[in-house]
């Protein structure tokens, strides 16, 4: 491909709406072009990379015996009604009506459709195990589409689904997919972590995420020296054992004027009610946070969360726990409806289904029986001291809503946790029987008995991968593609204007292409060498060959885009050097 004919224009400036490196670079280097928020066109360079990612995914899916099919993107409402996702997806779903007024949707994922297809065609244990996959365009109406193709509203996914007669089969299918994902992630050159994930709204049991490690990632995950790794939403808190509280004095309310924050409260406690053993800390206080849960069907419910005062509520962890409800702030109007709630001094005395407000009250798992707390006394300017969990108050249950912090213990005892950020690129998931039950997918087993099929679902973000690779591999000059998915193998630049250079370059390109090397040939006669080099570094093809002054000595320069290493290679050796 000649640069003079390639449909591309590199841009000097970052697009105004771009925040992350991959977004800036893919637009500047002419790989994609924005059409609407979260909706992009693929230009020739981008489409070549996309096709290479697709080919790798396809190879690894075929290698585990998965068969390719393709579902439509425009789907009827009924199957999603049966699984309840028509409602649960809320505003994330693109909905529309056809000319007859029939409700339809643009598929965000296809569990329902695959379940129905297998139900439609298969009926016996002899037909199983079965794995099907598709590489297909999906839609999600993201609230804040940004980060370019890293988080688009129209995107390409590989989604596969496994069908087994029993749990043991599901486990085998799951492990086969997991191993295929490891190979895909290795081949794409990702820096990645496989972490335990919360099963969340998808239903089902075992679930792991493949995260690309990147500071720009939207997901936080943890890992321990002993090998534990989990999405922060899936981390379970290590709770202390119940504690004896025989000698603990009775709870006593005290005047604590002007202490609406944890910090002012702790200072006040240390000044007016000093402890003998040590100073009060925020961890001694029990903070009660109110939120409103908004359900997809439009109803809402207040929720009170009690967590140690040294921690914040982690919105994502909370959302995972209450899904499919959305979490909204508890506003002034809400407070007015509950006059028993005294802002800044809310305590367990009015919370919980048995107390004055009747608001459901869930506490952090650290609030075990016998733990002593300072918390609001439900009167302005007053807190209760020596309030003992299990003696003086009981919550409606526990909730994993407090932030996870570096240094927290791993739940499996494998050491202190470290926090990192990642991009969710893959998700392997033992769905179990949720969809098969909802849609009636049963087959006859060996004894002629109808049994519900065990399913797994396995997603991989094909278009997202094109961007995520860059988040792992770029520098201040541009993209640095791994060889496996670079749009071309070699970027050959003619550095001067000497016709002999162009002739030599023509000849080298022909030789390389004959040897199966994909070459992007910068043959532009009137563009300066400086601009050509900048373009080459921005576009990021792994090997740059420069036909320049060295030609007089029979050599060309071969430069490694990643390391910047250069060396002169005799013309006659170029093909063997690069193949």
Nearer to a second copy by Cβ, of 35 and 279: the residue is 35
Task: Provide the minimum distance between the beta carbon of 300 and a second copy in the complex, in angstroms, as a whole number.
Answer: 19
Task: Provide the minimum distance between the beta carbon of 440 and a second copy in the complex, in angstroms, as a whole number.
Answer: 17
Nearer to a second copy by Cβ, of 143 and 333: the residue is 143
Task: Provide the minimum distance between the beta carbon of 100 and a second copy in the complex, in angstroms, as a whole number.
Answer: 9
Task: Provide the minimum distance between the beta carbon of 438 and a second copy in the complex, in angstroms, as a whole number.
Answer: 18
Task: Provide the minimum distance between the beta carbon of 488 and a second copy in the complex, in angstroms, as a whole number.
Answer: 14
Nearer to a second copy by Cβ, of 307 and 509: the residue is 509
Nearer to a second copy by Cβ, of 75 and 504: the residue is 75
Which residue ranges make up the site for a second copy (CB under 8 A)? Answer: 5-9, 30, 33, 35-36, 39-44, 47, 50, 65, 67-76, 91-92, 94-96, 98-99, 102, 104, 106, 113, 117, 120-122, 130, 132, 137, 139, 141, 143, 153-154
Task: Provide the minimum distance between the beta carbon of 456 and a second copy in the complex, in angstroms, as a whole number.
Answer: 16
Of residues 440, 472, 494, the one with CA closest to residue 562: 472
Nearer to a second copy by Cβ, of 138 and 317: the residue is 138
Q: Distance between CA 455 and CA 320 in Å, rounded?
A: 22
Structure tokens, 312: 């914040």
Task: Provide the minimum distance between the beta carbon of 51 and a second copy in the complex, in angstroms, as a whole number.
Answer: 9
Task: Provide the minimum distance between the beta carbon of 133 and a second copy in the complex, in angstroms, as a whole number.
Answer: 10
Q: Report CA Rg, the chain.
A: 30
* Cα dihedral value 10, 16, 17, 20, nearest 10: 60
Task: Provide the minimum distance between the beta carbon of 143 and a second copy in the complex, in angstroms, as a whole number.
Answer: 7
Nearer to a second copy by Cβ, of 103 and 557: the residue is 103
Structure tokens, 141: 């109406």
Neighbours of 474 (CB within 10 A): 18
Q: Which are the contacts of 249, defined by CB distance < 8 A and separation ≥ 6?
A: 386
Give kind and range of the element (H or E) at residue 81.
helix 78-82
What contacts 24+ positions apart, CB below 8 Å, involve 255-264?
A: 255/381, 255/382, 256/381, 256/382, 256/383, 257/381, 258/381, 259/344, 259/381, 259/383, 260/343, 260/344, 260/345, 261/344, 262/287, 262/309, 262/310
The stretches of 350-414 forming alpha helices (DSSP H) are: none
Residue by residue, DSSP assigns 396-451 as SEE---BPP-TTPBPTTSS-B-EEEEEEEEEEEEEEETHHHHHHT-EEE-TTS-EE
Cα 236–Cα 238–Cα 244 angle in degrees, nearest 5: 140
Q: Are strands 103-106 and 442-444 parallel, antiparallel or unpaired?
A: unpaired
Nearer to a second copy by Cβ, of 113 and 558: the residue is 113
Nearer to a second copy by Cβ, of 32 and 304: the residue is 32
Nearer to a second copy by Cβ, of 138 and 383: the residue is 138
């Amino acid at each position: 491909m000649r640069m003079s004919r390639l449909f591309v224009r590199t841009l000097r400036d970052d697009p105004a709406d771009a925040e992350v490196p991959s977004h800036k670079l893919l637009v500047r280097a002419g790989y994609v072009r924005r059409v609407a928020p979260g909706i992009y066109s693929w230009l020739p360079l981008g489409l070549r990379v996309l096709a290479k990612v697709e080919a790798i995914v396809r190879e690894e899916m075929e290698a585990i015996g998965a068969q390719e099919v393709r579902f439509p993107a425009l789907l009827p409402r009924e199957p999603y009604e049966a699984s309840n996702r028509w409602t649960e997806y809320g505003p994330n779903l693109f909905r529309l009506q056809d000319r007859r007024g029939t409700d339809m949707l643009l598929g965000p994922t296809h569990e329902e459709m695959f379940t129905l297809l297998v139900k439609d065609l298969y009926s016996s244990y002899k037909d199983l195990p079965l794995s099907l996959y598709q590489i297909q365009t999906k839609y999600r109406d993201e609230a804040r589409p940004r980060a370019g193709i890293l988080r688009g509203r129209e995107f390409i996914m590989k989604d596969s689904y496994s069908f087994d007669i029993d749990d043991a089969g599901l486990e085998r299918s799951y492990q086969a997919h997991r191993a295929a994902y490891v190979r895909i992630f290795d081949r794409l050159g990702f820096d990645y972590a496989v972490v335990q994930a919360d099963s969340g709204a998808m239903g089902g049991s075992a679930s792991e995420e493949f995260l690309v490690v990147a500071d720009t990632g939207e997901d936080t995950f943890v890992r321990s020296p002993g090998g534990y790794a989990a999405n922060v939403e899936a981390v379970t808190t290590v709770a202390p054992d119940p504690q004896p509280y025989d000698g603990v004095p009775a709870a006593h309310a005290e005047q604590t004027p002007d202490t609406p924050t944890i910090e002012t409260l702790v200072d006040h406690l240390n000044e007016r009610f000093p402890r003998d053993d040590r100073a009060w800390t925020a961890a001694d206080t029990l903070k009660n946070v109110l939120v409103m849960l908004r359900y997809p069907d439009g109803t809402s419910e207040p929720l009170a969360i009690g967590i140690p005062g040294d921690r914040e509520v982690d919105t994502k962890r909370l959302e995972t726990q209450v899904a499919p409800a959305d979490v909204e702030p508890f506003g002034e109007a809400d407070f007015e409806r509950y006059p028993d709630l005294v802002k800044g001094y809310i305590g367990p005395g009015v919370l919980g289904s048995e107390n004055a407000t009747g608001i459901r009250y869930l506490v952090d798992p650290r609030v075990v029986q016998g733990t002593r707390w300072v918390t609001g006394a439900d009167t302005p300017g007053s807190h209760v001291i020596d309030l003992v969990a299990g003696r003086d108050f009981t919550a409606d249950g526990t909730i994993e809503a407090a932030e996870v912090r570096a240094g927290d213990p791993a739940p499996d005892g494998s050491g202190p946790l470290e926090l990192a950020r990642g991009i969710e690129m893959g998700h392997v998931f033992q769905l179990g029987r949720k969809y098969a039950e909802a849609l009636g997918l049963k087959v006859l087993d060996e004894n002629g008995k109808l049994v519900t099929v065990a399913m797994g679902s396995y997603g991989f973000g094909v278009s997202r991968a094109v961007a995520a690779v860059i988040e792992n591999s770029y520098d201040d000059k541009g993209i640095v593609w791994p060889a496996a998915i670079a749009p071309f193998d070699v970027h050959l630049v003619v550095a001067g204007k000497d016709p002999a250079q162009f002739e030599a370059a023509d000849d080298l390109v022909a030789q390389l292409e004959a040897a199966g090397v994909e070459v992007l040939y910068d043959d532009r006669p009137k563009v300066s060498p400086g601009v050509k080099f900048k373009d080459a570094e921005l576009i990021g093809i792994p090997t740059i060959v420069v036909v320049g002054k060295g030609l007089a000595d029979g050599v060309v320069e071969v430069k490694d885009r990643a390391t910047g290493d250069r060396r002169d290679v005799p013309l006659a050796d170029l093909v063997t050097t690069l193949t």
